[in-house]
Every structure is written in C-alpha cells, then in structure tokens.
Chain A
C-alpha cells in the first residue's frame, strides 16, 4: 500500500497548519514525520487517517482518492499519543472492538474473533493481560494494546501519532526497538509522528523533517543527519553549534575576524555557520579557525562538554573526547572537522 499526499493545505483560523505538503510513502516503508510542535506533522497524519479534512489538496491511499471516504471506510490503523483505549472495556474487548463493529455480513464469528484477539495479544506479548482494564496497565502496556487494537482490523496502513510521547525515557527506548522489529515482521506501510529526533533516526527508514507547515527535507536518517538541506534541519537534528558569519568573496568572517575556512558555494552576505558539537577538534592555541577560552567543563558519558568563549564574544558548547585535557581558563584552538554554511541571518 502506498500513501501519497499532494499539495495539502490546512488552516485553523489564521494559523497555517499545512502549507502545501507533498509526500509519497512507498509500500512497506516506515516513515517518521519529525518536527517541533506546531509544525503540522500531527495535522498531516490526522488528514491521512480521515480524522481531519484539508482545505485543499489530495490524499491517495494505494492510488485511490482517500478524501472521498470517511475515516470509517479508509481502513487505517491509528495509534494515539494518549492511547485512547476504551476505559470501560477489558483489554480483550478493546482489541476485539474493531472486529465486533464490522457489518454483519463480513463479521467473524465469536470463535474466530477470540482466536484473532489472542493472536494479536501474543504479537504484542501481552496475552496475560487480556482480562485487565486499561487503568490497571502501565503506559507502555497501554500503548502496545492500542497498537494491537489498531492492527485487529487488518489495516491497509498504520499511522502512529507520537506513540511514545507520553512514556518515560527507558520504556520509550524499549518500545522503539520493539516497534522497529514489529514493523519488520508485519511489513505494513507506516507513518509515525514524533518530535524526538533520536526516535525518528533510530526507527524510520525515511525521515520527513517539517517546520511551519512545510516539508524541509525528506531523506534517509543518514541523509538528514549528514547533509541537512537547510539551516532549520541542521539546527533541529543533532546538536549543532550555530554562528552568525559574513561571506565575502569566498572568505568567511565571524564579526570582524576572518576565519580560515572556505565558503564553498555559499552565497555572499549574512549567513549561518553550522558545526556539530563533536566535529569541533581541539588543538593548541592558533592551530584552528577559532580560538577561545575554556569556561566550564562537564563530563557527559563518553564525552566531555566544554563551554568555550570564542574571541569575538560568542560562547559555544563543544563535545570533546574524555582523554583530551581541558582545564578551565586554558586558551585553545578549534578547528571544525566538517561544517556547513547556509545563507540568511
């Protein structure tokens, strides 16, 4: 099953939630919609599910016009951020719901429904909870039940709206891995919305980065991390150092201090220089494009994070290996291993 949206526009009052979005998801893909809150990612997902309607544009599921159908006819599995389990039904009945409300002509008999629910609860590894009520489950268990319930109707596509957003960090990491292997197992075309870049990069085949109702970049996790298409993507994904610079005749200046960096193809004028924190290499004073004084050092797992006051006034944070000796007050030279320059102030 493929999903395709074309030139989708949706406004809420004067707020443009979606501003001309085009996206194609291939069969069997697991795509992450990644962006800050208010970027339109949830709106896009809800429109694909039929829970919201666009002002204009097209939605095609498997090549068919989905906007001609309501949510009920679309056969789409939807998983909500806050689970939306039916609180007065047992886990079993929650999962069975989609099977019980089918039109009589195609509805399975009780034995078949029981078998199917059992199979789904086994799939999410929670068959031992089938008599419990949602309020008796942990957040992670609730979300897995919500997923089993969505899968019960054998949906054509699966949509997940911040599925792990309400869970604590440890459970989230476990479920992430679990979702990836589950997707591998059932191979259902899926879109999931997240504002957590780590989640998107770890789980998805492809990442769609959104901001202000527009798609900023579509690409593999490596693409969006290694070659961000815009200043926004660079700033949003991975931890970046961002410096306002001037590009003039192929040379780069920070304030009035020329930097020993090539401007590459960057257009002249006010620009932004982006460097990943761990791509700033520490050397003796005068050895790199930048120079600065160490202000503060903390250890963060495998790296040490140092606050450096650059000559020129700006303060940046870098990640250096633990074995690099950094002392507060030292003056050091810094050379970016890799960097990117985007036009615009």
Chain B
C-alpha cells in the first residue's frame, strides 16, 4: 500500500501537468491570449459607449436640462403636437400599405414560380439601395408643379406634394422592403405543403390564408411591421424633400427637431428627439422579444 502511494505521487502530478498543458493548448486554440481579449473587449465597449450610449444619454440630458416642466411644456407646444400627430398618421398609413404590399409580394415570391421573380426580388430592395433624398426627389418629379402629373393634379385641385399624401407616399416608398424582406425567407422555408393540405381538406383560398398561412407567419409580420414603423417615424431625407416644411402642417417629428435645433431651441429640439429615442428603445426591446418567438417557431418545426 505504502509503495503504491509513494509511486502514485509523482505519476499523478505528471499526469496533472500533462492535463494542464492539454487544457492550455485547447484554450489556446479557441481563444486569444488574455491581453488581446481584454484589448478587443475594451475597444468594443468604448466604441459602443461613445457612438451609441453617449448620444442617447446626451439626448435625454439636454431634453431635461431645464427641468421636467420645460420638457413637458416643449412637448405641449401646438407645433410639437401637430408634428407628433402627423408622424403617427404617416406611420399608420405607410405601415398599413406596406403590410398589404409586403404580404402580397412575399406570398407571390415564396409560393409561386413565375418569370421575372428574381427581378421582382431585386426591385423590392430598391428603396434600400437608393438614397432617401433621391426617393423624395422622384415624387417631386412625378407630382411637382413641373412634374409628369403636375398639371393634371393642379387641374383637379389635388395636393400631393407639400401635404400629407406626399409625405405618406415618400415614407411608404422608403419603408417598402421591411415587411416583404421579413416574410420572404420565412415563407420560403415553410413551403406550400400546409396550404396544399388545407385546400385538399376543402378550405377556400381566403380560409387557407387566414387559418393556415397567416398564423404561421404572424411573428414575422409583427417583426416587419415593427421595423417598418421605426423607420417610418424616423424618416428624414425623403420626407424633407416632399414636405415643404410648413410649420404645424407638414412637419414630422424629425423635421421639427432640425428646425428647432437651428433656431437654438435646444430643450424643445431634444424633447422631441427624446420621444424618437424612446421609440428606438421600445423597438429594440420588442425586436428582441419577436426574434425569440421567430426562433422558437423555427425550432418547433422538427
């Protein structure tokens, strides 16, 4: 027994050494040296702090710099209220339109084969690849006084540019890809078998859509709507071109922020900006929740 213990001492320790060396080699394969790790993480955190957290803090700090009363007063200004109302209205219109367009486009692309499908997919992405200012200018060219439909619109006394319809159109155009983009891969992955099953069980086209297709993609739809809404409320470039900046009438929240800032009304500018920032935070949280649901939906497939 004693002999064994005496013997086993050195054996174990050399074993431990080998094991430690192996573990070290294993760690080395997977991760960088500690110094590099710390450096990389520091850079990432610093960057995030300076470029993301700090601006967010600054927005709220400035908004509340003259106290909460001044903040609330700035938001209660008729101009501010009008801008909030307009922003909500425009977002509601463009999200509504894009929900329908996006569903139809994704349905067509994911479930059917037709010539020109690839072209259609490319076309859906167009608003993402074009500068928003250009998107706005397109509508000026179409509906402006000198534009293609300009004289016809004037004859019929229809105001599109520098009014709510123009802003809604520009916003819709810019935010078009969100819903379709969220749905196409989801619907492609799900295939057409459940729809085929529904139809062979006697369901009509509409019943199939509302009872089978839509419930399967509901989280994707919400995800697309959420991102679409965030972009619609925050859109500046395209709206700036078509809005005409009529105070209390065609100013959306982002436009009003710029105007107030240029007039040195910092508290008011940042008060409105804080609302947009809050929207961003809410969107972020909702997005995380939805992504979890989307992952679950896919995982439960198998």
A interface residues, Cβ below 8 angstroms from B? 49-51, 70-72, 74-78, 80, 82, 84-89, 97-98, 101-102, 133, 135, 146, 149-150, 152-153
Contact = CB atoms under 8 A, between A and B. Distances in A.
Nearest to A149: B201
Per CB-CB distance, the 3 closest pairs between chain A and chain B, nearest first, are A98-B201, A135-B300, A84-B193
Contacts of A84: 193-194, 196-197
B196 A86 contact: no
A51 B207 contact: no
B211 A101 contact: yes
Contacts of A72: 199-200, 202-204
Q: Which of A51, A72, A75, A77 is packed against the most chain B CB atoms within 10 Å?
A: A72
Given A98-B201, A101-B202, A80 B207 contact: no
17 contacts: A51-B196, A51-B199, A70-B199, A72-B202, A75-B202, A77-B200, A80-B193, A84-B194, A86-B211, A87-B194, A87-B300, A88-B216, A146-B197, A149-B197, A149-B201, A153-B201, A153-B202
Interface of B: 193-194, 196-204, 207, 211-212, 215-216, 297, 300-302
Contacts of A87: 194, 216, 297, 300-301
Given A86-B194, A101-B198, 19 more contacts: A49-B200, A50-B200, A71-B199, A72-B200, A74-B200, A77-B200, A80-B193, A84-B194, A86-B211, A86-B212, A88-B216, A97-B203, A97-B211, A101-B204, A102-B202, A135-B301, A149-B197, A153-B201, A153-B202
B200 A101 contact: no
A71 B200 contact: yes
A75 B199 CA distance: 10
A97 B201 contact: yes
Nearest to B208: A101
A50 B199 CA distance: 10
A88 B203 contact: no
Contacts of B212: 86
A314 to B, nearest CB: 45
A182 to B, nearest CB: 19
B104 to A, nearest CB: 21
Contacts of A97: 198, 201, 203, 211
Contacts of B200: 49-51, 71-72, 74, 76-78, 150
A85 B300 CA distance: 12
A101 B199 CA distance: 10
A88 B218 CA distance: 11
B36 to A, nearest CB: 43
A78 B202 CA distance: 11
B191 to A, nearest CB: 9
Contacts of A76: 200
Nearest to A152: B201
A35 B116 CA distance: 35
Nearest to B296: A135
A86 B199 CA distance: 12
A291 B74 CA distance: 104
B201 A101 contact: yes
A175 B301 CA distance: 22
A80 B202 contact: no
